[in-house]
Amino acid sequence: MPYSTVQASSALSKPISILTLRKMKEAGEKFVTVALYDAPMAAMAQKSGVEVLLVGDSLGMTVLGYDSTIPVTMEQMIYHVEAVKRGNDKSLIMGDLPFMTYATPEQAMTNAARVMQAGAHMVKIEGGAWLAPTVQMLSERGIPVCAHLGLTPQSVNKFGGFRVQGRDDEGAEQILEDARLLDAAGADLLVLECVPCDLARRITEAVSMPTIGIGAGKETDAQVLVINDILGLTEKPPKFSKNFLVEAGDIPGALRKYANDVKTGVFPSPEHTFG
């Protein structure tokens, strides 16, 4: 379907599942993800047709005032997952496992169960091939998993800062191989953060699971932005973000415009991506 003929839906008509997202990938239909942290925003996003709500450990920086995601605790994540769940009954809710809460498959199992019991429909974890056994264990036990490759904020100290990943051939091939391994292990979704758009396209074509991009170009199956960036609340916004509130005039309008621009291919534009 040409981008120009696609329009973002209004309120979701029925609950979104992993099967829904896989069918959208197969049909070439983009879906929309927003990282947010409370019940009112969750309700507003659902009414704006946002298919996936990410309760991210980004809340450490956007809500709690930390300088990274690393200090975020399980208790803080559970508190915000519960809040988002109370504001939503149709969008799929994804909850992050915080730093060092999934270092072993057994630890991941215990903490993933807590996030799911708080109201999430799946958990998100950051890392490459080393996580394949964890993904397989969670998947086999009925816990859906979103993997996260590229710039993984919990590894910011290892990376030496918030830097684009996969720009050289070796780095790109490693991310591609990690994506294939996690796909084979049973991951259901994959976030690609701050990778060159060509690499994101190659990965999206190589894996069966839907991909969600942030700073990864428009060839992924979906996009995600943090609600603070959508509403222009970030003092120094990242290159990949856009203030939709300034164009829309109000918060519901900003969410609807973001959703429509993703689905029609208007966002992200080249200025929001890395070559």
What angle (nearest 5°) sits at the alpha carbon of residue 220, between those of residues 16 and 177? 110
Instruction: For helices 132-140 and 169-185, give the axis angle rounded to 10 degrees.
Output: 20
Helix count (H) and strand count (E) of the chain?
12, 8
Cβ burial of 203 (10 Å; 0-12, 13-18, 19+) is: buried
Is 226 in a helix, a strand, or coil?
strand
Rg (CA), the chain: 17
Q: Which of 51, 126, 193, 219 is catalytic?
A: 193
The closest of 149, 140, 146 to 121, measured between CA atoms, is: 146
Distance CA(109)–CA(112), nearest Å, equals 5
- Cβ atoms of 55 and 63 closer than 8 Å: no
Cα-based angle 37, 38, 41 (whole degrees, multiple of 5) = 100
HSE value, Cβ hemisphere, 13 Å, CA-based, for 56: 26
Active-site residue 26, yes or no? Answer: no
Kindly report the CA angle at 18 between 16 and 21, in degrees rounded to 5? 75
Residue 52: C-alpha distances to residues 18, 55, 254 (Å):
10, 10, 16
* CA distances (Å), origin 56, targets 101, 214, 254: 14, 13, 20
Q: Which residues are catalytic?
A: 193
